[in-house]
């Protein structure tokens, strides 16, 4: 008998555990087509009424646009700030590169509930609460560590010979960076872009502390909705969100390969 042969009871057990793991995500799909007034499963009637209700909900639509614009702005700034930082830390290796790398990725070690409260208290005195600027800075605190990590790893794995050849052939440092290093970093940049956007779009705990009555993001709006009532509306938003995430993941998969981005 071979030891690594998987027995039938084990296969059944693993299948059931996978069902447990995926059940809440799978369940929102049928619920989103419910014709009922309240959240129930299985629904007694089917309809598209909750997708229609979504189109008629100005709060959710405006929160969605805020999240989308916020995610885009945060992603662009994250790349613009993290690429030079990664270059200095990995390539120039000046004063305390390792220390700076640890310092700039440290926000990921703090629980978001603690970080959110800490940012709330400081931002309150700066007048950043409930403002778009406040949300951008709050999100940058957690997207920058991810961006820096992915970009520093990419840069560290690049073949130095190409850059050395380019500078030996007379390329000025800025030209070498623009024409050689940056194109070679493309897969890392795509991965960092996707990661920053998804992290910003999904962030809810820190955002909860920073939003105001007039400015809110989609996850925060969904949180307040689920907190106050149980209807199938959130299921229809969830299905659209899952499709959006799938689209982002597929774009990354097509351009750089999924395993290189999320699995490793």
Partner 1 sequence: MTAISAPAAPAAPSLALGRTGTATVLLLPIAIINTIGFILPVLNLARMSFNEALTGGGVREAFTLANWAGLFADSFYVELILNSITVSLGITLATLVVSYPIALYLHRSSGRWRTVLTVLVISPLLTSAVVRTYGWIALLSEQGPIASSIAAVGLTPPRLMFNTTGVVIGLTEILMPYMILSLLAGFGRLDPRVEEAAMTLGAPPAKTFWRVILPLTLPGIALGCLLCFVLAVSSFITPKLLGGGRVFLLATEIYDQAIVTLNWPLAATLSMLVLIIFGAALAAYARVLRAIE
Region 167-186 residues binding partner 1, contact defined as CB under 8 A: 167, 173-174, 176-177
CB of 39 to partner 1, least distance (A): 6
Q: Which of residues 123-142 bind partner 1 (CB under 8 A)?
A: 123, 137-138, 140-141
Query: Which of 144, 185, 190, 192 lies at the binding interface for partner 1 (CB under 8 A)?
Result: 144
Q: Could you identify the residue written with the tokens 């940058």? A: 140
- Counting contacts by CB under 8 A, is residue 163 touching partner 1? yes
**Cα 31 from Cα 42, distance rounded (Å):** 8
Q: Where are the beta strands (DSSP E) in the chain?
A: none
**Cα 149 from Cα 125, distance rounded (Å):** 31
- Counting contacts by CB under 8 A, is residue 37 touching partner 1? no
Count other C-beta atoms under 10 Å from residue 109's C-beta. Answer: 9
Q: Are 209 and 120 in contact (CB under 8 A)?
A: yes
Q: Are 113 and 205 in contact (CB under 8 A)?
A: yes
CB of 191 to partner 1, least distance (A): 14
Query: Which of 53, 68, 120, 184 lies at the binding interface for partner 1 (CB under 8 A)?
Result: 120
Q: Which of residues 87-116 bind partner 1 (CB under 8 A)?
A: 87-95, 97-98, 100-101, 103-104, 106-107, 110-115
**Cα 146 from Cα 78, distance rounded (Å):** 9
- The set of residues, in sequence order, having a beta carbon less than 8 Å from that of 242 and lying 6+ positions away, is 25, 28
Query: Which of 255, 257, 258, 260 lies at the binding interface for partner 1 (CB under 8 A)?
Result: 258
Q: Which of residues 194-253 bind partner 1 (CB under 8 A)?
A: 198, 202, 204-205, 208-209, 219, 222-223, 226-227, 230, 234-235, 238, 241-242, 245, 249
């Amino acid at each position: 008998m071979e030891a690594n042969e998987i027995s039938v009871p084990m296969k059944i057990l693993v299948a059931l555990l996978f069902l447990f793991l995926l059940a809440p995500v799978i369940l929102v799909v049928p619920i989103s087509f419910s014709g009922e007034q309240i959240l129930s499963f299985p629904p007694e009637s089917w309809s598209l009424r909750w997708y229609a209700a979504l189109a008629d909900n100005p709060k959710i639509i405006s929160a969605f646009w805020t999240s989308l614009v916020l995610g885009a702005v945060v992603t662009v700034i994250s790349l613009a700030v993290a690429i030079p930082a990664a270059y200095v830390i990995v390539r120039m290796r000046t004063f305390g590169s390792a220390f700076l790398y640890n310092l700039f990725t440290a926000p990921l070690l703090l629980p978001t509930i603690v970080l959110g409260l800490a940012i709330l208290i400081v931002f309150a005195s700066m007048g950043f609460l409930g403002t778009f600027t406040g949300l951008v800075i709050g999100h940058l605190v957690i997207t920058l560590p991810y961006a820096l990590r992915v970009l520093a790893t990419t840069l560290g794995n690049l073949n130095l010979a190409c850059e050395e050849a380019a500078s030996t052939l007379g390329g000025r440092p800025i030209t070498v960076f623009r024409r050689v290093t940056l194109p070679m970093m493309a897969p890392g940049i795509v991965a960092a872009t996707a990661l920053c956007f998804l992290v910003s779009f999904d962030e809810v705990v820190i955002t909860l502390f920073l939003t105001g009555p007039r400015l809110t993001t989609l996850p925060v709006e969904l949180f307040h909705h689920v907190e106050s009532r149980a209807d199938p509306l959130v299921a229809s938003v969830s299905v659209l969100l899952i499709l959006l995430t799938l689209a982002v993941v597929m774009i990354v998969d097509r351009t750089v390969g999924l395993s290189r981005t999320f699995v490793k």
